[in-house]
Each structure stands twice: as C-alpha cells, then as structure tokens.
A and B are shown apart, each in its own frame.
Chain A
Amino acid sequence: MVSDHAEQPAWSESAAPPGTPAALTPADAADAARLVSFGLQPRLQPAREREYTDLLRRYREDPPFARLADAVATGLGLVVLEVSPRAGMAVTAAEDSVFAVRMGDYSRRTAADATDRFLHGLAHLAVAAMSFPRPEDLADDGYIGRVSVNGVDAFVRQACLRLQERAEEQGENTDPASDAPGLEAAWRVWSRRSATGATKDARRPAGSTTGIIAKAVAFLTESGFLQRTGDESGGTFRTTARYQLQVRDMAGSAAMAELLELGVVPVTDGTASLLPAAQEDQELAADAGLPFHS
C-alpha cells in the first residue's frame, strides 16, 4: 500500500536527495506524536477528525514519517497493529507498558479470589469467541461480529453443559476435592456461578456471570473494541476493526502459545467447524490434568 512518493517535498523543508531518506524536523516528530496520541483515543473515528485523516494518509504515503511514528509508539511502550483509514492508528499496550490494563485495576475482587480472576478472563475470551465464531470471521477484514451479554453467557453455559454431559457419560466424578479448589475443572466454576439475580436496585449482581460479561463488554466498548447497538438480551454490541486486530494479532496468538506451553495441543484442520474440534480436543484436555485422572 505504500506508494513511492519519497521525492515529494510537500512536508519537508529541504528536498531530499534521491535514494536517501528525507531529513526529519522536530515538526515532523510533533506530527508523528500527534498521530500516536490519536491512536491512544481508541473511540475516536478517523473519518470524524480531519487532522487524524491527514496524518493517516501521510503515514501511508511517507515511509520516513511512518518509521518515526512507529518509533514514537514503541518508545511509549505501544505496539502498532495496523494503520489504516478503517482502524485508524491501531495501537495497543505492550506487556510492561504504562498503558497496559492490569487485572487488579480492572476488578478489585480478582486480587483476592482466584476464581473471580479466572471468570473475568474467561468472559473476555468468550466475548471474543462469540464475536468471531468461525476462523474465517476472524480472518475476514470486513467481518463485523455481533454479541449480546445473555448470548455469551448462554454460549459458555452450553459448552459447560456439554462437558458435564460427557463427564457423566464416562461416569467421571467431577466434584472437586475440598482441599484443592485449584484442581476444579474450569467449566464447573462457570456453570456453578449464578447467571443473574434479583437485586434491590434492579441491576445485575456484579458477581453473576452476566454481570461479569457486562463488565467485560462495557470495558471493551471503552477500549473502542465494541459499539453498543441495543439493549435487548442484556445489551447487544457489534465489533470494530480494532477488536478484530487485537484478538487476531495479540490476544489469540498469545493465549494459544500459553495453552501450548501447558501441554494442550488443540488439533483442528484450520477450516473446521466449532464442534468437531471441541470433541477431538477432549481426550487431550482430559489427560492434561482433570483431578480424577491424576
């Protein structure tokens, strides 16, 4: 996509000699930083802001400027995912960056309670899985996913139910040992948490699974990853290009690597549907450490 406009002197005081990069001025650095600062406002849409659109075009047409903007981002502890008119300057926080979101800041309960910590993480994963149900959806740049709070909960519960049924078929006792709560199967933690509950002020209880999912989608909306489209089914949302990039290029692959490190190798043929993959994985996952096997 990068055009060869290196000789065009529109933004540079001195015309660059052919073949060598143009000399960049402090004004260029300011513009590059300005572009990154736009990227730090994830809900800002490039089409709405003239200056943003101009800087994005300059990034794409002017490689030295692009490298400068990348450097500014890297220096701030940001990873550039994509720079395009649809996603804007899509940056995300590197692992140790000041911009990174920490679980303890996200929800105070998670610091004390390992179960809650897992539920919050799983909610984010489930929202992503529901947003991009098929591998093609995650790969297709034009795809817009739709999720609802109740839909995500029902979907995870269904997956949990299937695991429970399978465990029952095999006559396994999935009740965890009382002195080792960490060995409880993950699906049980979700399925035994209540979906919702009546409260005095007619809001969802924060500890219920729909409450946890609602927190996740609200957070993702603030991150510019989801847009609220309605109130039905506990709140419905559609995905943005940035969310697709974030899940595809950052979260999905990193979580995958971690899973592989645990010795779980999910085998799918890449194009396959959801269910067969889930069934074939079952053997491996079970051997990988359910309490009744160890």
Chain B
Amino acid sequence: MTSPARTDSAAARPAPGPAADEGLARRLRALACTAPLHDLDARKANLAGEYSGYAMAEVALAAIDLVTLNMDFDTGADHDQIVARLLPRVAAQAPGRPAAEHQRVAQWVLENLINVGSVDRGFRAVYGTFAPDGSYVRRDYDFKLVEEVPGTGGSVYLRTTDEAVNVLVGALDTDVTSAQIAAEVKLEVLISRGRLADAQLAAEQARYRTVQYAETLRRALEATRRNVRAVDWLTTVPDMIAEALDHVADRYRHENAILTNIRKARDESEEPDQKRRAAELVDIVKDCIRRHTQLQSRLLEAGPLFRAEQDRQAFAAPAARSGLDLYGQLLAPLLPLPVERASRVSDVFFARGTGLRSPHSVRIGDLVETLLTPPQEREHLGAEMPEPDLIATPDDSRFSEEQLAEAAELLDLPADAPRRLSGLLAEARRRSGGDTELPYLVALLAVHAASPAVGTAYRQGEQKLLFAVDDGTPLEDEEFGGADLIVGTALLDAAGMAADRTEAA
C-alpha cells in the first residue's frame, strides 16, 4: 500500500483515502471469492468419515465449470444433472470408496457452493477500507458463486454468478467483446501452428465469453419485455441489438472457419492423441455456434415484442387524470436509501396497502369443548382391498431358459472363426445328449441371423452381431433341410458410428 504523498498532511495519514484504496478493495473482493473453495478443503476434515482423499476445491471448480457450460438462455443447469456429471471426477479421486459416498461428496460440494445453510444462500467476507476522513471502516462484501433461480413449472435451476465466472476464467474486469476477439485470434494462431492443447484451452475460454455475453443480453432483453418505457428504444436498444447481431454474424463466420480448420487437422493428423483433441475442439466450437444461433433468434424476437407492447401500452387513450407513479416516485427513490430509513416507507405502505383482516376471537366455552373432545380416530389404511384372484398361467414356452443359455453359448463364436450350421447342430446334439430341442433352437437362431438388422444394432449400441450367410452348400441333416449356413459374429464399431452420426447432424 504505497502511493505518492502530495502534501505533508497526506503523508501523515495512515492511507490515501478511498480512491487509492479502491484497487485494494477490488483485489480483496476477488480474493474473497476464492475463499469458499479453500474452505471446502479445510472443512472436509470435520465431516464424519474418511474424506481426506477428495480434492474438494477441484470438485468445486469442476462444478462451477459444469454449471456455467450448462446455463442456457432461459434457464440454468439442473441440480441433479450437475451432481451426476461430477461423479466420474469424484470417483476417480477415491476409486476404492462406495458410490454412495461419491454421490454424497458431489452433493456436499454443490450445496456448499450454494451455501444452503444460510438464509441468503450466499457468502460474506469482511474487509477494511479507509473512509475519506481517514477513519478505518470495516465493510461486508456479500457474494454468491452458484445461485438458484426459478425455472418453468416451479423448478429450480442453478446459475453461476459473474463473480464465479470471473474466478473461474481468471479474468477480472475484462471487456467481454474484446476478450472474445482476443481469444478467437489466439485460437486461430494456435491451430495454424498445430498446437491443439493450447487451442482447446483458448476455445473453452471463448465459450465462457460467449456465455457471459448471452447472459448480459438476456438481462437487457428481460427489462425490455417488462416495460417498453423502461428501456430506450430510440437509440440504446436498437444499437445494442445491431451490435449483438454483428457480433453473432462475425463470430459465426469466424467459428465456421475455425471448424473447417480443425476438421482438417483432425482428419490429417496421424497421432491419435492429437486426433482426439481436435475432435473435442470440434465439439466445443460447435457448441459456441449453437449458442450464437440461440442468441440471434432471441435478438430477432425483440423487435416484434417491442411493437406489440407499444401497441398495448402507448396507443391506448390517455387517462383523464394522472395517478401516482408507483415505480418512479416510490420504489425507485426508495431503493438507494439506507435500509433503516427505507423501512419506514415500506412499513407505511404495508400498513395501508394490505387491506383488512377480521380478527378472530375465541369463545372460552368453545375452546374448552374443543380441547376436551377426544381426537377422532382416523382410518389411515382405508377400506380393505379384496384379495386378487390370481390364476397361474401355464408355462407354454417351447424352450427352457437353460436351453437358451446353452444355445447362446454355442453361438458365441469368435469374430475371426465362423462355423457351418451342420457343425453347430452336431455339437448341440452331442451336448444335449439325445434332447432334440436344443438343435432345433440352434437352427432357429441361425435362420433368424440370416438377415440381421444391422442398422438397429448400431442404434442400440450393440458391440457385436450374429449373422448367417448362405454360400450354396446344401445341409445334410436327418432333421433339417435347406442350406448349410455359415454362422459368424461381426464386431460393430458403435462408438465410431455414433460419432459420425452426430457430426453429420
């Protein structure tokens, strides 16, 4: 804490006043935002059980990360979903522990980030500054990291606050737009030099910026919807929308260019690690594009919304007399007041604005009678259910479970060694020892495999598929006729198929 002393009196003072103190206060607040994360690791020792193996701050940062990325325009991230996505990381930290404990840890971290125990569901840090008169003032800094917001149908969603995003991205007080451009440029350079690891980091940062930008715009649009006159529709909002549309168009072009670049890098790269990185990058950039598109559609809705609201509000016949402007004359002047004084006004409004209540009066006679009446027996269980008359259905399936298992085992062929149906039938007869049912089942399964549903198996993510091919050899068998099918197992690359499909979409 040093600053040039202008006069002797200033030098004699302990600190140079609020203006120079501001930077310190800002840094103290930034520092305070990280405190809840450190606190998690400090407090895990107090939990009942063995929790020292978990890195709580890491889980917390991952949680903030997940919530930020899952924040959408209208809602936030789903609580249970975040916990579920945290589980792999938690499980990796302590693989030997039961899954229920992992769940508990993820839940604990998320709840502590919300700070469920407190009424504000937030955090408070105390720091000191010097007032203009040189006195030292302790101040409370209240902040939240993850907050709960109401969603549709009474559900609750999570959103990360600006503080949390700033802590996470580590970019305090940066201009959103310029930071975005910087990240894009960096990304392009990195990709052109083939440094994908750094490129991924930059792309993720770019996505945080995008989310932040969308959040800022969402707030502005929400205010517009609430009241046409609350927002300057002559210049400010049209300018903002034009700016945002430009931004979307620009980023869209940019990111498509990057996408083409990375795809090339992915397809041409020989190194599997590099290939995987590039594939991840494709996902991130695609997500960015998706968010931009969403932003754009919101921007396009803003104009019609304004016109509709204007029709409703501005073109109605003017009232004969003008009333009190509840917001402008009461609420708005009230909010900046100290709460102690503002309370006097809100108390008066409450006292006069709530109407009346007829007081309830109790007659002692009634009270005594009510108290002395024995409680009425309640039928908790309700009427007795009639015993359902169950008829055992006869087991009319032709093959037993054991036979099916045996047939499956028989047909569990290695991928590189298909077999003739005749050989399979012979083995089935040998195994069953005279039972004619097993060979019949094997033959049935083989015929069924003659035209396998490959597409369905892919969609269902099957690893392998039984198939049968007729190469013209007739089947020499005492019981069955037809072709001596070649029966084999085909391995399916379900993961690869799924990846191709999403990319095509």
Residues of A close to B354: CB separation below 8 A: 101, 106, 124, 219-220, 223
**Range class of the B interface residue count:** 35 or more
Given known A139-B320, A246-B353, A254-B352, contact A284–B333 (CB-CB < 8 A): yes
Residues of A close to B341: CB separation below 8 A: 262, 288-289
CB-based contact A285/B326 at 8 Å: no
Asked whether any CB of chain B lies closer than 8 Å to the CB of A111, the reply is no
CB-based contact B122/A183 at 8 Å: no
Q: How far is the CA of A135 from the CA of B327 in the complex (A)?
A: 9
CB-based contact A262/B340 at 8 Å: no
CB-based contact B229/A273 at 8 Å: yes
Q: How far is the CA of A259 from the CA of B348 in the complex (A)?
A: 10
Asked whether any CB of chain A lies closer than 8 Å to the CB of B337, the reply is yes
Q: How far is the CA of A176 from the CA of B122 in the complex (A)?
A: 16
Asked whether any CB of chain A lies closer than 8 Å to the CB of B356, the reply is yes
Residues of B close to A103: CB separation below 8 A: 347, 350-351
Asked whether any CB of chain B lies closer than 8 Å to the CB of A11, the reply is no
CB-based contact A114/B340 at 8 Å: yes
Residues of A close to B122: CB separation below 8 A: 192, 194
CB-based contact B332/A277 at 8 Å: yes
CB-based contact A266/B330 at 8 Å: yes
CB-based contact A95/B351 at 8 Å: yes
- How far does the Cβ of A197 sit from chain B's closest Cβ, in whole Å? 5
Task: Considering the complex, give the chain B residue whose CB is closest to the CB of A101.
Answer: B354
Contact for B139 among A95, A161, A178, A284, CB less than 8 A: A178
CB-based contact B328/A278 at 8 Å: yes
CB-based contact A258/B148 at 8 Å: no
Residues of A close to B205: CB separation below 8 A: none
Given known A129-B326, A259-B345, contact A93–B336 (CB-CB < 8 A): no
Count residues of A near B (Cβ-Cβ below 8 Å): 121
Residues of A close to B356: CB separation below 8 A: 40, 42, 78, 91-93, 97, 99-101, 223
Given known A129-B326, A262-B344, contact A289–B338 (CB-CB < 8 A): yes
CB-based contact B326/A196 at 8 Å: no
Asked whether any CB of chain A lies closer than 8 Å to the CB of B81, the reply is no
CB-based contact B330/A252 at 8 Å: yes
Asked whether any CB of chain B lies closer than 8 Å to the CB of A56, the reply is no
Residues of B close to A232: CB separation below 8 A: 152-153
Asked whether any CB of chain B lies closer than 8 Å to the CB of A138, the reply is yes
- Interface stretch, picked from B206-214, B220-228, B364-372, B377-385, is B220-228
CB-based contact B336/A285 at 8 Å: yes
Contact for B339 among A125, A189, A197, CB less than 8 A: A189
Residues of A close to B344: CB separation below 8 A: 258, 262
CB-based contact B323/A135 at 8 Å: yes
Per-residue CB proximity of B135-146 to A under 8 Å, as 1/0?
Answer: 001111110100
CB-based contact A124/B222 at 8 Å: no
Q: How far is the CA of A160 from the CA of B334 in the complex (A)?
A: 11
Most buried by B among A139, A224, A258: A258
Residues of A close to B144: CB separation below 8 A: 192, 194
Contact for B229 among A246, A266, A275, CB less than 8 A: A275
Residues of A close to B346: CB separation below 8 A: 118, 120-122, 124-125, 255
Residues of A close to B121: CB separation below 8 A: 194, 197, 208
CB-based contact B326/A186 at 8 Å: no
Contact for B22 among A171, A186, A234, A258, CB less than 8 A: A171
Contact for B126 among A178, A223, A262, A288, CB less than 8 A: A178
Task: Considering the complex, give the chain A residue whose CB is closest to the CB of B335.
Answer: A187
Asked whether any CB of chain B lies closer than 8 Å to the CB of A30, the reply is no
Asked whether any CB of chain B lies closer than 8 Å to the CB of A57, the reply is no
Asked whether any CB of chain A lies closer than 8 Å to the CB of B455, the reply is no
- How far does the Cβ of A49 sit from chain B's closest Cβ, in whole Å? 17
CB-based contact A178/B337 at 8 Å: no
Asked whether any CB of chain A lies closer than 8 Å to the CB of B412, the reply is no
Given known A78-B356, A114-B343, contact A163–B336 (CB-CB < 8 A): yes
CB-based contact A186/B339 at 8 Å: yes
- How far does the Cβ of A283 sit from chain B's closest Cβ, in whole Å? 10
Asked whether any CB of chain A lies closer than 8 Å to the CB of B392, the reply is no
Residues of B close to A86: CB separation below 8 A: none
CB-based contact B139/A93 at 8 Å: no
Asked whether any CB of chain B lies closer than 8 Å to the CB of A239, the reply is no
Task: Considering the complex, give the chain A residue whose CB is closest to the CB of B28.
Answer: A175
CB-based contact A197/B148 at 8 Å: yes
CB-based contact A256/B330 at 8 Å: yes
Asked whether any CB of chain A lies closer than 8 Å to the CB of B355, the reply is yes
Per-residue CB proximity of A194-207 to B under 8 Å, as 1/0?
Answer: 11111000101001
Residues of A close to B417: CB separation below 8 A: none
- Interface stretch, picked from B112-120, B287-295, B486-494, is B112-120
Residues of A close to B79: CB separation below 8 A: 198
Asked whether any CB of chain A lies closer than 8 Å to the CB of B501, the reply is no
CB-based contact A136/B332 at 8 Å: no
Asked whether any CB of chain A lies closer than 8 Å to the CB of B325, the reply is yes
- How far does the Cβ of A105 sit from chain B's closest Cβ, in whole Å? 8
Q: How far is the CA of A176 from the CA of B142 in the complex (A)?
A: 10
- How far does the Cβ of A48 sit from chain B's closest Cβ, in whole Å? 19
Q: How far is the CA of A91 from the CA of B357 in the complex (A)?
A: 11
Asked whether any CB of chain B lies closer than 8 Å to the CB of A268, the reply is yes
Residues of A close to B231: CB separation below 8 A: 275
- How far does the Cβ of A113 sit from chain B's closest Cβ, in whole Å? 9
Asked whether any CB of chain A lies closer than 8 Å to the CB of B457, the reply is no
CB-based contact B326/A247 at 8 Å: yes
Considering the complex, which residues of chain B in the window 359-410 have a beta carbon less than 8 Å from any beta carbon of chain A?
359
Q: How far is the CA of A262 from the CA of B138 in the complex (A)?
A: 27
Most buried by A among B122, B223, B318: B223
Task: Considering the complex, give the chain A residue whose CB is closest to the CB of B139.
Answer: A175
- How far does the Cβ of B338 sit from chain A's closest Cβ, in whole Å? 5
Considering the complex, which residues of chain A in the window 247-294 have a beta carbon less than 8 Å from any beta carbon of chain B?
247-248, 250-259, 262, 264, 266, 268, 270-278, 281-282, 284-286, 288-292
Known contacts A103-B347, A163-B335, A288-B341; 5 additional CB pairs below 8 A are A101-B354, A124-B346, A128-B326, A258-B344, A275-B231
